Amino acid sequence: MAAGVSAAACSGSGSTSRGHTTTSGAADTSKASTTSAGAARHRPLSWRGCGSDGLQCATLVVPLDHTHPSGPTIRLALYRHRAESSRRVGSLLVNPGGPGASGRPLAEQAGQIFPDSLRARFDIVAWDPRGVGASTAVRCGRHLDAFFAVDRSPDTSAEVAANVTAARALAAECRAASGSLLEHVSTTESIADMDDIRVAVGDSTLTYLGFSYGTYLGARYAVAYPTHVHAMVLDGAVDPALDARASVAQQSAGFEASLDAFLADCAQRRACAFHAGGKSADALHQLLAQIDAEPLPAKIDGQTRALGPDEATLGMASALYAGRSSWDDLAGALAAAAQGDGSALLELSDQYTERQPDGTYTSTQAAYYAISCTDEQGDTTLADVEADAKAAALVAPVFGATNAWLGLPCVYWPAPATVKPGAFRAPSQLEPVVVITSSRDPATPKAWGVSLATQLDARLITVDTDTHTAFVSAGPCVQDPVVAYLISGRAPATNLSCTATG
């Protein structure tokens, strides 16, 4: 349930777009070693048509290691939707979150995602961060069914051992398939890439809109390059001040609160498919106990499969990202599962993990672990994860343990973490940025947005909504002041609050 998704274009920890398959692997880091990254930094981008709705693509060469700019290089895939009026301000760099999500859907679907007033004035520019998608990508194998079939609320030593085996196997496969690239996919490297993108698109300063994990990218950039920021909006904020245990517990509590709200609503409405005689919460706990004892049969895309405890939890989380708009779908999936058919709930889990109809997975999950595990020092032992799971389960009985145990691969990760958790301090040169927080965001709780805004001395927009991120879905109450700020660079004079109308 990691923080990682724009409600606009993604679900779970990545994009739901399925049509994007071109990748470039870790081997490219050696093949491109004769390219001068310094020269590439100042070389104009060569944009070409590459999809529907006028989408354009380009490739930017950047250093594998920004501390050695003349060394081996990798490639970044860039996507652009051109400004729709002659009053173009510049480029708006956008990131959907993850970590591990491709930026392509944000540019490809810009006409459906962003308001007219924004598209008129900016080229919408997105990219696949290093390690992701069509950029030089990490690889951890494409068959992850065994990894997600593990019970991540283990209550026996055998189930704990199965978690350890799955986590070790994923880490080992990532090392074998990705090689030295694993040491160079952290956010520290990506913010330097963002500055290279700024130069490549010809902007003297950066205008940026980041969702979920994209807020962490943006905040890190603002701290590192304060004089390079024209305007920056961070929607669905991650709180860098939290350590792993606090982050897992607070995020788990956010999902639990969203689930409780859904169950309470369902219990009050006879039309809800999971009404269960007004005892929806009891029915859910019985269902989860049954799945824990024996996975449910499921059939998707002609394949006979099984819905296990981890997939059931991920399926519920996948639906909760979108808030109330997904409650009917969730109710239907749970009702079917209660009748012995796990297909709909497993399909929601597949959307979350980006499992493809042929049984393979996109690079999103591999990139998620590669970036997360090398970003910040978190748990370092199995005992740490067990303690995190116990603490999270106290505040989130359904989601807490699963959320903690999903972090176990980082204990065995073959690349070192780059930084320790800690609060940011806004540089004196940084002009006010804007943070958006949803009052009932399940994945990045409201308190995280408040905290990040305080750390960055930012303007805070609080939106009364239950979705993960708010800019795209909340309507004019958020979009109007944000677009005005992105165009002018002048932040609102005070903090704002509003109710979502979209």
Q: Where are the beta strands (DSSP E) in 196-333?
A: 206-211, 229-235, 296-300, 303-307
Instruction: Using alpha carbons, select from 15, 22, 102, 64 the residue that is nearest to residue 186.
Output: 64
**Marked catalytic residue, from 193, 310, 350, 441:** 441
In contact, 206 and 228? CB cutoff 8 Å: yes
For 218, the 3-state DSSP assignment is helix
What is the DSSP code (8-state) at residue 108?
A: H
Q: Length of the chain, please?
A: 502
Is 275 a residue of the active site? no
Choose, from 212, 363, 372, 451, the residue flagged as catalytic.
212
Check if 212 is active-site: yes
Three-state DSSP class for residue 180: helix
441 among known catalytic residues = yes
Two structure tokens written together for 200: 């490549």
State the Cα angle at 220 between 215 and 222, rounded to 5°: 95
Q: Is the distance from CB of 446 to CB of 468 less than 8 angstroms?
A: no
Active-site annotation holder among 20, 66, 228, 468: 468
Torsion of CA 454, 458, 459, 463, to 10 degrees: -60
Under 8 Å between Cβ of 466 and 209? no
**Placement of tokens 């219990």 in the chain:** 267
CA distance 116 to 222: 27
Contact at 8 Å (CB) between 496 and 459? yes
Euclidean distance between CA atoms 364 and 132, whole angstroms: 7
HEC letters along 346-400 = HHHHHHHHCECCCCCECCHHHHHHHHHHHHECCCCCHHHHHHHHHHHHHHCCCCH
One-letter amino acid of 244: A
Residues forming beta bridges with residue 499, ordered by sequence position: 464
Q: Active-site residue numbers?
A: 212, 441, 468
